[in-house]
Amino acid sequence: MGILVAIEGLDGAGKNTIVQRIRAQAADHGISMTTLAFPDYGNSITADLAAEALHGEHGDLSDSAYAMAVLFALDRRRSAPALRAALAEFELVLCDRYVASNAAYSAARLDQGPDGEVVRWIRELEFGRFDLPVPDHQLLLGVPPEVAMDRAQGRADTDASRAKDAYERDADLQTRVWRAYLDLADRQWVSPWLVADGDEAVAAVLRLTVPGASLRS
Ligand SMILES: Nc1ncnc2c1ncn2[C@@H]1O[C@H](COP(=O)(O)OP(=O)(O)O)[C@@H](O)[C@H]1O
Ligand SMILES: Cc1cn([C@H]2C[C@H](O)[C@@H](COP(=O)(O)OP(=O)(O)O)O2)c(=O)[nH]c1=O
């Protein structure tokens, strides 16, 4: 049984970039690994609907934090069999965003804390009713909103397909999401968290699989 590590962070924090770096280092260390990413655009209709809603489609759908959270949760539920198969096959399974994304963004939208109603509801829906695998570890990329928003802007400027969505355009929301993530990490919500960035983040994830592993250049 492999270990499941969720990579969390703000839009533009560098989640995708760090996942690629971990993948390269894992190969060097002989660690077998695979990655999943949520939302699973292009494969999951609920993920696509959520993205479209955040780009202004589907009427008032995106006005509801709960409706958006249900779409993201159903996206993960669809992938649960693939996730279990990956855990049976690989030593390390990384998820680029997982259930804590729903907790952090929903709490931020509704101005609730980590012990609030919506975080409890997401935990019960996704880990309870949907029976999604609980992550062994959760890594919060320690990149604050100013830096993440700058990177998201840079990406939007150079890649027309990465135009910013409603969450990415909302600087106040990003700041509240950051607070929500720090609170979840502080509470060790659902499983152990670490907060790190760059080489430290890559090395920390490798060490979860191979104790004492160090980065190779
Ligand atoms: N450590 C870093 N320093 C500078 N730029 C970075 C770093 N990590 C990622 N980026 C850039 O920031 C942008 C967002 O990174 P990405 O990995 O796509 O973030 P996310 O998956 O968290 O949205 C990309 O343009 C990427 O090249
Ligand atoms: C996976 C997930 C994402 N989100 C939010 C975070 C992001 O702002 C937004 C889109 O996800 P994101 O991974 O940032 O996709 P993109 O490639 O479009 O940047 O959805 C949730 O609110 N709950 C979730 O469960």
> Is residue 186 included in any domain, yes or no?
yes
> Is residue 214 included in any domain, yes or no?
no
> Is residue 216 included in any domain, yes or no?
no
Q: What is the mean pLDDT of the chain?
A: 97
Report helix angle 65-89 to 45-54, nearest 10. Answer: 140
123: pLDDT confidence band, cut at 50, 70 and 90? very high
210: pLDDT confidence band, cut at 50, 70 and 90? confident
Share of the chain above pLDDT 90, in %: 95
33 - beta bridge partners?
Answer: 92
Query: For the whole model, what pTM was predicted?
Result: 0.97
Query: Nearest C-alpha to atom 17 of ligand 1 is from which residue?
Result: 14
Pocket probe mutation, ligand 1, options 7, 8, 10, 17, max atoms within 8 Å of Cβ:
17
**Measured on CA atoms in the order 3, 144, 109, 42, is the torsion positive or negative?**
negative
Pocket probe mutation, ligand 2, options 62, 72, 94, 170, max atoms within 8 Å of Cβ:
72
Query: Strands, DSSP E only, in 9-91?
Result: 33-37
Contacts of 153 (CB under 8 A, 6+ apart): 12, 164
Torsion angle, alpha carbons of 190, 199, 211, 79, to 10: 40
> Is residue 204 included in any domain, yes or no?
yes
SS3 at position 194? strand
| Cα 208 from Cα 12, distance rounded (Å) | 25
Looking at residues 126-155, what average pLDDT do you find? 97
The domain of 113 spans: 3-209
Taking the centre of ligand 1 as the mean of its atom positions, its distance from the CA of residue 154, in whole angstroms, is: 9
Q: How many residues does the chain have?
A: 217
64: pLDDT confidence band, cut at 50, 70 and 90? very high
Element (H, E) at 5: strand 3-8
pLDDT of the residue at 214: 82
139 - beta bridge partners?
Answer: 7, 194
Residue that has been written with the tokens 């100013």 in this structure: 146
Looking at residues 5-26, what average pLDDT do you find? 97
Q: What total number of domains does the chain contain?
A: 1
Contacts of 44 (CB under 8 A, 6+ apart): 74, 75, 78, 79
pLDDT of the residue at 205: 97
CATH number at residue 176: 3.40.50.300
Taking the centre of ligand 1 as the mean of its atom positions, its distance from the CA of residue 13, in whole angstroms, is: 6
Taking the centre of ligand 1 as the mean of its atom positions, its distance from the CA of residue 14, in whole angstroms, is: 4
Atom of ligand 1 nearest to the CA of 143: 1
